[in-house]
Chain A
């Protein structure tokens, strides 16, 4: 039905006449296949943004949990406990719509104070046009960026709770003597926190954060639940049976091979991450008063 689009190889003009390697080369370079390669980029981008944002949430959560003001402390602790006690997928399934409606509701309150219609009309969630996110006349890419940001935010809230737990533990692992010394020097609580505790906690937090990074990588296949067209979406779409009526490249049910490809991709990604994190860990341990730091010192001496 569709005329052949722009192709990378010249021999792809008539896919029905080629076979073997050439067919495969053409097949794997259709515009639709380029989408799955792009979606790998989406996953990497999500990881690159989510990691620091989740760390920020985690830092906030951990600081709140150890606050001396008890309401703040309660909020911090329940954030950590609730998110961690519940399967993440439960959050993924309803956070995106919930967050979307929450933001639109807030904007609605600000931008359309004179609105006299109810926001919930039966099943519908209706806000004024100016409050819609993104605006109704926004181009498609804005919608995609917005959807992607919601996914990042959801991931960050969930993984922030785990990061908070790691950082909370790391703050408590900093030797008491360090804090006491700081106090003896007459530092205020704030100074002790920022100048002594925060710089030293990272080495204790690193094993937990490394673990969290691995877990984060392995949570990315759930992105499609958040409405982002990710590699799982494309693997399902591309691998499914195609009849010759609707494509130039008919094939049977190939989803198993596409998922085998994803499996290999994740294994490689994990391996690379392990190597990089190992390096960082050795770097951070240098000169620290921990077992690993001590071992490095001894190795250097002998």
Chain B
């Protein structure tokens, strides 16, 4: 069996397409690389959707947090505290049990306890809270002159927010936001460790890596493969966010463009 056959059998195994049975003996390096790579699809799915949806909630939360009206500010503060103050791991566990109990309320809520929706919701709320804190910090450091200039032009309300406040906030927050994105992708590996079940052995990269470690009793092959994939993913995220960063700062002279640097945040 050539490696190409393995790719055809297992390349999309994590989505339930291809060979139904996972390899059970005579594990080849190719099988491990292909299956763990197939699992990466889940990590990318979780990370990309949570990040895209979380962006909007994060902006809304940041604005609410900066608002003078306590009816907006207090809930935003509490939301950020709840998700930044507790470990994501515990959030996953707790949410899974809570979702299980919710299921008895209505059959509409059935999908909540499957990873594809339930875990996505937790990741979405979690990254929203972290990003909200980043955007809030940026919102607070908008140069006074920007607002004064907007006043001078007679800009108010939403058009001022869209044309002045938001672009500056994004510019200031972008390097930190890039880090948040990277660590969000890292934390997607917690999904199947933390209570959400893997259905028909469709799991993420870590699920397959630990499957192989379990079967071969040799953790020194699958985990480095997993590590390699994540380093590639990290580099891709840095690249994509770098493009956006250049676009956000396209009016500035070259050397003033803030550099994106990987700064720590890791597991929540």
Q: Do A and B come from one complex?
A: yes
Chain A interface residues toward B at CB < 8 A: 82, 84-90, 93-94, 97-98, 123, 162, 165-166, 169, 208, 211-212, 215, 217-222, 225, 232, 255-256, 259-260, 262-263, 266-267, 270-271
A255 to chain B, nearest CB (A): 6
Contact between A208 and B263 (Cβ–Cβ < 8 Å)?
Answer: yes
Contact between A255 and B220 (Cβ–Cβ < 8 Å)?
Answer: no
From B93, B213, B264, give the contact of A162 (CB < 8 A): B264
B98 at the interface (CB under 8 A from A): yes
Chain B interface residues toward A at CB < 8 A: 81-82, 84-91, 93-94, 97-98, 100-101, 186-187, 189-190, 193, 206, 209-210, 213, 217, 219-220, 223, 226-227, 230-231, 234, 262-268
- Nearest B residue (CB) for A164: B264
Contact between B268 and A218 (Cβ–Cβ < 8 Å)?
Answer: yes
Contact between A85 and B234 (Cβ–Cβ < 8 Å)?
Answer: yes
* Cα A99 to Cα B24 with chains together (Å): 28
Contact between B97 and A259 (Cβ–Cβ < 8 Å)?
Answer: yes
Query: Could you say which residues of chain A place their CB within 8 Å of the CB of B88?
Result: 218
Query: Could you say which residues of chain B place their CB within 8 Å of the CB of A267?
Result: 81-82, 85-86
A-B contact pairs, 19 of them (CB 8 A): A84-B266, A87-B267, A89-B193, A89-B267, A93-B213, A94-B223, A98-B219, A166-B264, A208-B264, A215-B268, A219-B266, A256-B100, A263-B91, A267-B81, A267-B82, A270-B84, A270-B85, A271-B81, A271-B85
- Nearest B residue (CB) for A257: B97
Q: Please report whether the interface of chain B is mostly helix, strand, loop or mixed according to DSSP.
A: helix
From A89, A169, A263, give the contact of B90 (CB < 8 A): A263
* Cα A225 to Cα B267 with chains together (Å): 14
A260 to chain B, nearest CB (A): 6
* Cα A82 to Cα B234 with chains together (Å): 11
Query: Could you say which residues of chain B place their CB within 8 Å of the CB of A94?
Result: 213, 219-220, 223
Contact between B97 and A263 (Cβ–Cβ < 8 Å)?
Answer: no
- Sort A-B residue pairs by CB-CB distance and give the 9 closest, nearest first: A94-B219, A256-B97, A270-B85, A87-B186, A218-B87, A162-B264, A86-B227, A259-B94, A221-B89
A80 to chain B, nearest CB (A): 9
Contact between B264 and A260 (Cβ–Cβ < 8 Å)?
Answer: no
Contact between A123 and B217 (Cβ–Cβ < 8 Å)?
Answer: yes
* Cα A86 to Cα B223 with chains together (Å): 10
Query: Could you say which residues of chain B place their CB within 8 Å of the CB of A232?
Result: 89-90, 93
* Cα A166 to Cα B101 with chains together (Å): 43
Contact between A211 and B206 (Cβ–Cβ < 8 Å)?
Answer: no
- Nearest B residue (CB) for A209: B264
* Cα A86 to Cα B264 with chains together (Å): 12
From A123, A165, A222, give the contact of B264 (CB < 8 A): A165
Contact between A89 and B87 (Cβ–Cβ < 8 Å)?
Answer: no
Query: Could you say which residues of chain B place their CB within 8 Å of the CB of A217?
Result: 87
Query: Could you say which residues of chain A place their CB within 8 Å of the CB of B90?
Result: 221, 232, 259, 262-263, 266
Contact between B98 and A225 (Cβ–Cβ < 8 Å)?
Answer: no
Given A85-B231, A94-B219, A222-B267: A266 and B186 interface contact (C-beta under 8 Å): no
* Cα A219 to Cα B210 with chains together (Å): 20
Contact between A82 and B227 (Cβ–Cβ < 8 Å)?
Answer: yes
Query: Could you say which residues of chain B place their CB within 8 Å of the CB of A270?
Result: 84-86
Given A89-B193, A255-B97: A266 and B230 interface contact (C-beta under 8 Å): no
From B217, B230, B267, give the contact of A85 (CB < 8 A): B230
Chain B CB count within 10 A is highest, among A88, A169, A212, for A88
Chain B CB count within 10 A is highest, among A98, A169, A218, for A218
* Cα A93 to Cα B234 with chains together (Å): 20
* Cα A260 to Cα B88 with chains together (Å): 13
Query: Could you say which residues of chain B place their CB within 8 Å of the CB of A211?
Result: 264-265
Contact between B219 and A263 (Cβ–Cβ < 8 Å)?
Answer: no
A69 to chain B, nearest CB (A): 24
Query: Could you say which residues of chain B place their CB within 8 Å of the CB of A208?
Result: 263-264
From A98, A256, A271, give the contact of B98 (CB < 8 A): A256
* Cα A225 to Cα B230 with chains together (Å): 20
Query: Could you say which residues of chain B place their CB within 8 Å of the CB of A266?
Result: 85-87, 90
B249 to chain A, nearest CB (A): 21
* Cα A218 to Cα B97 with chains together (Å): 20
* Cα A212 to Cα B268 with chains together (Å): 10
Query: Could you say which residues of chain A place their CB within 8 Å of the CB of B89?
Result: 218, 221-222, 232
Query: Could you say which residues of chain A place their CB within 8 Å of the CB of B213?
Result: 93-94
